Amino acid sequence: MKAILDNIWVKRCVAVFGCAYFAVLCLLTVATFLYKLEFVEGMQAPFFLLFGIASVFFLVLMLYTRELLITKIVSILMMLVTFCLIILNMFQWVLIIPPFIVSLVIFFAAGTRANVKVIMGTIYLLVYVLGIVAYFVLNMLLGGSAVETRLNIDLDQSGEVYQLYSGQMRKLSEVTDRVNTISPDGEYEFYFVDVQDSDKGCVKIYVVPANDDIELKFFTLKQQGIKKTVTKNGTRGIVPSAGWIVEQDEVTGETYLAILYQLTDEELPKTVKVRNLPKKNYFGFLGIQ
């Protein structure tokens, strides 16, 4: 058995296999840069258990091959990938704790030369500290203090937002039903958000691409960064009426989609054309709108 474990080709094969963990971290980082990761209700604990076991398993493999060049390279690069994963998923502890521990342990345990560890360790310490500080500063400066809560029948009944709309849940259920919110061509979807800010707040209506979410067993990757603001003049506590209509241009005869909405019973209905959505904003995680 010892002869097999000491065989260089066995170690090389294990090292290559161990790179699968690094590849998964890269995929998660890219996925959460393009999408917003939301865990399926009740699946956080099973995911953490499975991810934790997998992290320990691959850490053992990397420790076994720590003297090989491929593991040394991975040990250096993994710290950077983990930093990006942390910034993109701040406070998602279930997602960021296992890879951070693995990255930290293998960085110091790998057979990399001491001077390389000192230089890269210093660089990564600065990157982590300054990067996290910059993250919070940018979010405070650019993101503001407003809190947006999506309005639907799944509102937390113990929260303040639910209390505002508890008497209108039947209407909220009707207007936020996917039959009503999805456009006739299936390309777009609108939704309402309640906005809590330092003033009196408001209700906004957004339009986003429909059916762009990726649903997996443990979590859903929700499309983010592409949305059009229909209105931001709704009154908190009042559920607007809204729906899709098809209109025709009087000059060209071209038909186009529009949203017909009414913020209160006293106001007249208004329409907003929906032809093209804005380009994707890739830096929403920094509070940039």
Q: Got the DSSP string for 218-249?
A: SEEEEE-S--EEEEEEEPTT-PPEEEEEEEE-
Q: Specify if 18 maps to a domain.
A: yes
260 shares a domain with 179: yes
Q: Are residues 251 and 127 in the same domain?
A: no
Write down the pLDDT at residue 126: 97
Q: Are residues 203 and 183 in the same domain?
A: yes
11 and 138 assigned to the same domain? yes
Residue 250 lies in a domain: yes
Last residue in a domain, options 143, 176, 203: 143
- Residue-wise pLDDT for 248-258, tens only, equals 877 777 888 99
Higher pLDDT, 288 or 279: 279
Pairing mode, strands 255-262 and 219-223: unpaired
Residues 132 and 158 in one domain: no
Write down which residue in 88, 122, 143 finishes a domain: 143
The answer to the question of residue 219 being in a domain is no
> Do 201 and 70 belong to one domain?
no
Q: What is the pLDDT of residues 128-177, one digit of tens each?
A: 999 999 999 998 888 777 889 999 998 988 889 999 999 999 999 999 99
* pLDDT at residue 34 in the model: 94
Q: Are residues 115 and 166 in the same domain?
A: no
189 and 157 together in one domain: yes
Assigned domain for 234 exists: yes
Instruction: Using pLDDT thresholds of 50, 70 and 90, give the confidence band for residue 5.
Output: confident
* Statement to judge: residues 99 and 40 lie in one domain: yes
Domain limit, last residue, from 102, 117, 143: 143
Residue 222 covered by a domain: no
Residue type, 68: L
Do 153 and 108 share a structural domain?
no
In a shared domain, residues 137 and 170: no
pLDDT at 198: 83
Query: Are 156 and 273 part of one and the same domain?
Result: yes
Q: Has residue 220 been placed in a domain?
A: no
Whether residue 88 lies inside any domain: the answer is yes
| E-state strands within the chain | 35-39, 147-150, 188-196, 202-209, 214-215, 219-223, 228-234, 241-248, 255-262, 270-274
Confidence of residue 124 (pLDDT cuts 50, 70, 90): very high
Q: What is the pLDDT of residues 23-66, one digit of tens each?
A: 999 999 999 999 999 999 899 999 999 999 999 999 999 999 99
Range of the domain at 179: 147-212+227-282
Taking only the tens place, the pLDDT of each residue in 86-123 is 999 999 999 999 999 999 999 999 999 999 999 999 99
Return the closest-CA partner of residue 175 out of 265, 241, 274, 269. Answer: 241
How many domains is the chain partitioned into structurally?
2
6: Cα within 13 Å, side-chain hemisphere: 3
Note whether residue 198 is domain-resident.
Answer: yes
56, containing H or E segment: helix 44-64
What local confidence, expressed as pLDDT, does residue 275 receive? 83
